[in-house]
Amino acid sequence: MTVSVGIEAMGLAVPELYVDMAQLAEARGVPVGKFVEGIGLKQMSVPAVDEDTVTLAVRAARMALAGVDLKDVGLCIVGTETAVDHSKPVTSFVQGLLGLPTHCRIYETKHACYGGTAGLMTALDWIRSGSNRGRKALIIASDIARYGLRSAGEPTQGAGAVAMLVSATPSLVAFDQNVGTYANDVMDFWRPLYSKDAVVDGQYSVTCYLDALRGAYRAHQETGTGVTPSYSDRFAAIAYHVPYPKMAKKAHEALRLVDGDAAPAASFERQVRTGLLLPERVGNIYTGSLYLSLLSVLNGDPRALDGQALGFFSYGSGSCAEFWSGTVTPGAQAKVKALGLGALLEARRQLTIAEYEQIMTAREGLDTRVPGADPVPAFRFAGVENHRRLYTRA
Ligand code: HMG
């Protein structure tokens, strides 16, 4: 018997601060059109000095776990490429802060932006195999994307986390088992152990992303129903990994060309546009970017998507990529709209460019920050004492 497996609930956390991309372009002496149309970003999330990968993960998870009995969670994986320790996983901090049961298996996965998908795929197989014994998995993709001030990557930063409760009662999206994978050893983007900032060969990374997309998409077709000229027309929407919105546009055109579509840009509005509404106000959140795009589709698509097929493309530099598909569960859109994601973004505060630069500089000393006397809100990073990271609790 085939078990229906997928996402039962989702949660999103973004920092309460952002910069306006037109203002950043002006400050950098770059035409506004380059950042707003060329990159495709309107706003970019900026983490405050009391936010890190742990705090974002916990806040996203609390949204996804509303009304869930924590005893039912038997697996928790955090996918991240901006972990806070070389040994102790982000997931251990998350387990403590959330109060997950001691019989829950926890660990962290790393493979650039693919790390969250690695966790999701493991959770799906765990449930399909029956090893879950009726329990659910909590998969969190959490990151702070940072390239450094005035670098070419600066307009493609961001921060945030997406949490997914994965189960055999997928009330948002049920996934098909057919997954197309593509892996290739490339140096397109990495973060050496001695650096807080990512190193990237920007234009080459775009080529690597597109090669991986074509490879994973073809592999998906080969394991599924085979190549047909209109193969991707079966998807009402396709959620891509979105390092910046223009990349998803390029990706979609490349995918349609694989199908042999003579007008590859024509389906962009129908299949991709709503998946960019949230990413264009948040920026790159690395592991969570694809899942932010999924939230964006479910939150913002004006069509009724009940029972409709969706495509998914995950890319992690280095590289590993996967293309797979799923079906929207009836009622999923109302469930996501009830999360109030628009209001979450509206409630943020816009930084001046000077404030943003101050925060980015202050964050360089975060790992040795001494806890202050001032009260910090719940689930925030308080500082480091005796080599131990401290977080505020509820
Ligand atoms: P760049 O060299 O500064 O920009 O780097 P550009 O010259 O390529 O211009 C960008 C776009 O703006 C171009 O559009 C220009 O034409 C356009 P395109 O030709 O690409 O369609 N443009 C304008 N448009 C309107 N009005 C204007 C104007 N001027 C120019 N006046 C780059 C851009 C994205 C490479 C850089 O920001 C970067 O290195 N970012 C980081 C790397 C990245 O995001 N790579 C994406 C693929 S790899 C990936 O997704 C994995 C990743 O998420 C990491 C992981 O896996 O962990 C990054």
d(CA 56, CA 75): 19
Q: In this predicted model, what pLDDT tens digit does every residue of 50-79 receive, in sequence order? A: 999 999 999 999 999 999 999 999 999 999
Tokens at residue 331, please? 């009622």
d(CA 50, CA 296): 26
CATH code of the domain made up of 6-391 = 3.40.47.10
Mean pLDDT along residues 33-43: 98
Ligand 1 pocket, residue 360 CB under 6 Å: no
Q: Where are the domains of the chain?
A: 6-391
Compute the distance from residue 241 Cα to the ligand 1 centre, in Å.
Answer: 14
Mean pLDDT along residues 184-211: 96
Strands (E), 217-293: 235-240
**Both ends of the chain: CA-CA distance in Å?**
43
d(CA 46, CA 48): 6
Orientation of helix 90-98 relative to helix 53-64, angle to 10°: 50
What phi, psi does 257 have (nearest 5°)?
-65, -35
> In which band, very low, low, confident or very high, does the pLDDT at 229 lie, cut at 50, 70 and 90?
low
Compute the distance from residue 208 Cα to the ligand 1 centre, in Å.
Answer: 13
Work out the mean pLDDT of the chain and round it to a whole number: 96
Q: Would you say 237 and 271 are in contact if contact means Cβ atoms under 8 Å apart? A: yes
Residue ID of nearest Cα to ligand 1 atom 16: 38
Given a cut of 80, is residue 273 above it in pLDDT?
Answer: yes
What phi, psi does 140 have (nearest 5°)?
-125, 130
Residue ID of nearest Cα to ligand 1 atom 36: 153
CA dihedral 166, 168, 171, 176 (to 10 degrees): 80
For the chain, the 3-state helix, strand and coil shares in percent, each to the nearest 5, are: 40, 25, 35
Q: Would you say 19 and 349 are in contact if contact means Cβ atoms under 8 Å apart? A: no
How confident is the model at residue 382, as a pLDDT?
94
d(CA 276, CA 197): 25
